[in-house]
Amino acid sequence: MGAIATILLGGGIVALIVGGYLKFKGGRIAKTPFVPTGDAARNPSVAGDGGRVSVQGSVNCPQPLVSPVTGTPCLYYTLKVEGTWKEGDATKSKTYVEDKVAAPFTLDDGSGGIPVDASAGGDMETKKTFDETKKEGFFADLKSAVGKGEPIMFGNYPFANPPMSKANTFKCTEWIVPLPPQAFALGKLEQGVITSTGMLGLMLSSKTRDELLGSSAKNAKMAFIGGAAASGVGLVVGVISTLV
């Protein structure tokens, strides 16, 4: 019963944290000035505290990115390759590749376009498009030494393990921000460009501002109720298990 109590309490606390974040996110959206895209591009005084501003409009991306592993058109992608190996009973790891790339694009609600810089990442609607683990061949180092080494292929992406690397198992993941017809963006207005702001970075969503406000409030309420219920039950079960 003690283990069940711990699980319930842990889950409840996580749900309460999620609820707090969603409430904060909704407040962040509500408090940030929401302005026409053309005004944001031409008039820096429309920004609020910390230079923050929010806009929404049609996405114009003349040259979308093509993700390196799956070849998916997108506004933004992250690529990560992590290697692992054994040292005695311990498993060691090292990140060999960690790329974050954003395409230039603008948002336009009809009043004029405003550039958005998503290169620093942030609170964006990412989608995992690839997740695969592969083990390198036993004679890989020997082949590399004689010039016959072959890269490990993850989809369309060739990964070359450095010579004499300790890692022999590699995990490749790819995440993208798809190319939506419309988007909402909240960030810092700098020299006519909306970019990342603070620790949370750029907020970018295919939902409208009203949809985001509604979903944040609804999901925060559900998380608070679920978290409080799970924590309460966990405490009761914990007390009972202690007494028993």
Which of the 8 DSSP states describes residue 205?
E
Question: Using CA atoms, how far apart are residues 79 and 176, in angstroms rounded to an integer?
Answer: 9
Contact 185, 54 (CB under 8 A): yes
Q: What's the confidence (pLDDT) of residue 5?
A: 43
Q: What is the structure's pLDDT at 239?
A: 45
Q: Model-level pTM?
A: 0.77
Which pLDDT value is given to residue 47?
A: 86
Q: What is the mean pLDDT of each run of 10 residues along the chain (244 residues)?
A: 53 55 62 92 88 94 96 96 90 94 96 94 92 77 53 93 84 96 94 81 87 62 51 47 56
Count of beta carbons in the 10 Å neighbourhood of residue 144: 17
The shares of helix, strand and coil residues in the chain, as percent rounded to the nearest 5, are 35, 35, 30
Q: Are strands 193-195 and 157-159 parallel, antiparallel or unpaired?
A: unpaired
pLDDT of 97: 95
